[in-house]
């Protein structure tokens, strides 16, 4: 038996079709090992930053199966993705199942030809690539662990920082400050609808934008009174060249702008297309096309559009670290016009096909036309319109949306009379720079050298998931929490979240991948000074206040001044005499129902007070010294209201009680934490009657089921959890 290991089941399914049964193809289902959550166990800094890995939770059975198959196999080949992460996964698989010098193959498209070619040229695991990925992972862990720990102490528990995430947040915050500092100015836009002698209509715009209403009214008065005519027509023939085939960043940007896909969604869809063999690998910064692919594309262009549209091109890759052996993102077969098993896959494939095919087509010839009109004897500023006409469509035939929103203009000549149909002046204000969209932020990160193709989507997803940014339409807007975190890092770690430092670190990782620098030296040179700075900031006072509140807002309870604080839901105003006074307001000044003093002392820490609060899962009573003291008092009345009246079968003391957690409603014993019995669905009160082979009863609670199964056992290991598995039961039919 011969064994070939890939990452995903879908990829395994596609590849197995091309190997004619000669290989057993199995999937690791992504990463199988990772660093432990505890940083003390994860990285041995004293031993040259040696990482200590463990099998990822839930992957034990995968590793066991792969190890068992590998022992029986005559040959084992690792065919993980063709990038650093794929190289790292291959190495982790080899280490976990104890392979000695396994063969490794790479391919950038999952086609029979590419897989066959790769099988003919196996190599060993590239330790430089693997080390580069390991260095990235260790760096991110060290920075995130130390910075996050400091932010927990000084700002608020539960916040985080990251090596690449924090510079991205800083960029978003810098734009937000520009917007706040912007002072708008008034101006008027005057537009006129006119008609030619041939009854053709067009809308002209005044070339000057008056700053006052009086100036605008004067232009309107003269425009309505005087005659109109064409002053000049300027035509310029230009060529528009096709854009380069997609790389990761441009695919994410274009899919965001045209299809409305978030970067993470784009990459997920592209992954499915790649695994099904429809497109080449989607994490790349190279615009290169192979000679075979280019010849196929040119053939498709000639057959579909005509010989005059054929124009072979190569494109310079902007990224200085791009690997030219890699290819741009393209269809594996240009002759396949449609592909994908879902509508969104079809839409993304169409976008990739159009961009790739258009890249090998002739330039579009466009006649740009500027028509200028005058009013009377030029008593007002001129009015004009700029439009275009396509003389030769070229690549626009394949990618029509690439044209944008050009305006078609009528054919006129200087001196032609125009008839004014309508004229309006619209008062406006100058606008601040726009917030970054997801596509815009990716473009900015790429320009500044922050991150790499595989990280753009995860950077933005992390900012959103952490609650540091929120999407307002298509724009990324920093939250109060994001602003507080970014300000703290900018004030205290400006050098480590700067563009230059982050870009230089990316280059160092590239040097490790190229074998030019050593993993240990890069980490040592970075971590010594970094840790020293983190420790020096430990002396900072805790940032409990973010500044004084506006003077007009006084405490609603005692009338004292207020300060701005950061809560889990954002900024709010708190009495400056907290915790003696619990007065609070929302950031816009409305009175806020704050924690209520129960008058009881905390039984755990003694100096704290028990406060009644409203949390996202309901009312609770906790110590005022949280998070130092995590004492929570049970609310007997609330327990009584939510009790199901069913005795817990595990401790036989508490009652099964309805609760709400981060994943929704569940039912657990009221005797928690002494008893940790919990189930997902409401209990029926019955006890599972199933008897094991040794005569022992299951004894777990039965819980509500479905229409076809009214109740089932809450114990997942019991066959009665899924009655179809009971001895003698009719097997569940698989849906077609």
Q: What pLDDT is stored for residue 214 in this prediction? A: 95
What is the full DSSP assignment across 698-729? --PEEEE--SSSSEEES-TTSGGGSGGGSTTP
CA separation for the pair 163, 450 (Å, rounded): 10
Q: What pLDDT is stored for residue 322 in this prediction? A: 45
Assign 735 a pLDDT band (cuts: 50, 70, 90).
Answer: very low
Structural tokens at position 669:
């014993």
CA separation for the pair 534, 524 (Å, rounded): 15
pTM: 0.75
The one catalytic residue among 18, 281, 468, 690: 281
Q: By the 8 A CB rule, do 455 and 252 touch?
A: no
Q: What is the pLDDT of residues 114-132, one digit of tens each?
A: 999 999 999 999 999 999 9
690 belongs to the catalytic site: no
What is the full DSSP assignment across 304-366? HT-GGGB-------S-TT--TTS--B-BS-TT-----SSHHHHHHHHHHHHHHHHTTBPPEEE
CA separation for the pair 608, 206 (Å, rounded): 69
Q: What pLDDT is stored for residue 713 in this prediction? A: 87
Assign 454 a pLDDT band (cuts: 50, 70, 90).
Answer: confident
Q: What pLDDT is stored for residue 725 in this prediction? A: 66
494-509 exposure pattern, b = at least 16 Cβ within 10 A, e = fewer? eebbbbebbbebbebb
User: Residue 318 above 70 pLDDT?
Assistant: no
- Gap between the terminal Cα atoms of the chain: 32
Going from the N-terminus, what domains does the chain have, and what CATH number goes with each?
Answer: 2-125 (3.40.50.140), 154-181+434-509+521-536 (1.10.460.10), 186-241+365-429 (2.70.20.10), 248-362 (1.10.290.10), 562-637 (3.30.65), 645-725 (no CATH)
What is the full DSSP assignment across 218-278? HHHHHHHHS-EEEEEEEEEEEEEPPPPPB-HHHHHHHIIIII---HHHHHHHHHHHHHTTS
Q: Assign 3-class secondary structure to 459-473.
A: HHHHHHHCCCEEEEC
Q: What is the pLDDT of residues 696-729, one digit of tens each?
A: 888 888 888 877 788 888 887 788 887 776 766 6
Structural tokens at position 153:
């102490």
Q: What pLDDT is stored for residue 321 in this prediction? A: 47
**For range 477-499, the mean pLDDT:** 92
Q: What pLDDT is stored for residue 323 in this prediction? A: 45
User: Residue 388 above 70 pLDDT?
Assistant: yes
Segment of 30-44, 58-72, 712-726 carrying the highest mean pLDDT: 58-72
Q: Please name every residue paired with 702 in a beta bridge, in sequence order, or none if there are none.
A: 713
Q: By the 8 A CB rule, do 426 and 250 touch?
A: no
Pairing of strands 364-375, 50-51: unpaired
CA separation for the pair 700, 287 (Å, rounded): 60
Give the 3-state secondary structure of residue 128.
helix
User: Residue 590 above 90 pLDDT?
Assistant: no
């Amino acid at each position: 038996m011969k064994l070939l290991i890939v990452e995903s089941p879908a990829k395994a399914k596609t590849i197995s079709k091309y190997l004619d049964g000669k290989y057993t193809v199995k999937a690791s289902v992504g990463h199988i090992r990772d660093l432990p959550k505890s940083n003390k166990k994860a990285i041995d800094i004293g031993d040259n930053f040696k990482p200590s890995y463990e099998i990822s939770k839930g992957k034990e059975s995968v590793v066991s199966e792969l190890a068992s198959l590998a022992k029986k196999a005559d040959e084992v080949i690792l065919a993980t993705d063709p990038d650093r992460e794929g190289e790292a996964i291959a190495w982790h698989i080899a280490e976990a199942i104890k392979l000695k010098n396994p063969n490794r193959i790479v391919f950038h498209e999952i086609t029979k030809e590419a897989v066959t070619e790769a099988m003919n040229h196996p190599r060993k695991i590239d330790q430089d690539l693997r080390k580069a990925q390991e260095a990235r992972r260790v760096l991110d862990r060290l920075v995130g662990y130390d910075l996050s720990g400091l932010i927990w102490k000084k700002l608020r528990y539960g916040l985080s920082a990251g090596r690449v995430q924090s510079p991205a947040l800083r960029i978003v915050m810098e734009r937000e400050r520009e917007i706040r500092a912007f002072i708008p100015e008034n101006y008027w836009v005057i537009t006129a609808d006119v008609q030619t002698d041939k009854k053709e209509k067009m809308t002209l715009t005044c070339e000057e934008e008056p700053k006052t209403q009086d100036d605008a009214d004067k232009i309107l008065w003269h425009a309505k009174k005087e005659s109109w005519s064409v002053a000049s027509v300027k035509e310029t023939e230009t060529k528009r060249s096709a854009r380069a085939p997609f790389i990761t960043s441009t695919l994410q940007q274009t899919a965001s702008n045209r299809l409305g896909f978030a970067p993470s969604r784009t990459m997920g869809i592209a992954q499915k297309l790649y695994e099904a063999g429809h497109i080449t690998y989607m994490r790349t910064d190279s615009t290169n096309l192979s000679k075979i692919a280019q010849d196929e594309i040119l053939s498709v262009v000639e057959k579909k559009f005509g010989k005059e549209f054929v124009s072979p091109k190569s494109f310079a890759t902007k990224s200085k670290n791009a690997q030219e052996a890699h290819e741009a993102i393209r269809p594996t077969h240009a002759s396949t016009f449609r592909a994908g098993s879902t509508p969104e896959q079809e839409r993304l494939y169409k976008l990739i096909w159009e961009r790739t095919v258009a890249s090998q087509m002739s330039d579009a010839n466009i006649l740009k036309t500027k028509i200028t009109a005058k009013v009377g004897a030029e008593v007002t500023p001129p009015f004009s319109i700029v439009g275009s006409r396509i003389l030769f469509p070229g690549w626009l035939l394949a990618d029509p949306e690439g044209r944008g929103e050009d305006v078609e203009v009528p054919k006129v000549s200087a001196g032609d009379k125009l008839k004014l149909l309508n004229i309006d002046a619209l008062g406006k204000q100058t606008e601040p720079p726009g917030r970054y969209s997801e596509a815009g932020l990716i473009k900015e990160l790429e320009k500044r050298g922050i991150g790499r193709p595989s990280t753009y989507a995860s950077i933005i997803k992390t900012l959103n998931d952490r609650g540091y940014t929120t999407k307002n339409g298509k724009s990324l807007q920093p939250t109060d929490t994001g602003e507080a975190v970014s300000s703290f890092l900018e004030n205290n770690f400006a050098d480590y979240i700067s563009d230059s430092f982050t870009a230089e670190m990316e280059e160092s990782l590239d040097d490790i991948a190229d074998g030019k620098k050593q993993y240990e030296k890069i980490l040592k040179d970075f971590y010594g000074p970094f840790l020293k700075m983190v420790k020096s900031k430990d002396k900072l006072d805790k940032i409990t206040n973010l500044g004084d509140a506006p003077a007009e807002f006084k405490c609603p309870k005692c009338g004292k001044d207020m300060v701005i604080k950061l809560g889990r839901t954002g900024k709010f105003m708190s009495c400056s005499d907290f915790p003696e006074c619990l007065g609070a307001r929302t950031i816009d000044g409305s009175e806020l129902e704050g924690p209520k003093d129960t008058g009881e002392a905390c039984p755990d820490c003694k100096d704290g007070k028990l406060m009644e609060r409203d949390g996202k899962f309901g009312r609770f009573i906790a110590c005022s010294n949280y998070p130092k003291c995590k004492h929570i008092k049970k609310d007997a009345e609330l327990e009584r209201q939510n009790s199901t009246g069913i005795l817990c079968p595990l401790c036989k003391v508490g009652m099964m009680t309805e609760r709400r957690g981060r994943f929704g409603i569940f039912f657990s014993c009221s005797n928690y934490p002494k008893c940790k019995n919990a189930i997902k669905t409401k209990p029926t009160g019955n006890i599972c009657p199933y008897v094991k082979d040794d005569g022992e009863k299951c004894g777990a609670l039965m819980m509500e089921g479905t229409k076809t199964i009214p109740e089932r056992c809450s114990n997942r290991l019991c066959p009665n959890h899924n009655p179809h598995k009971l001895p003698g039961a009719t097997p569940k039919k698989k849906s077609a």
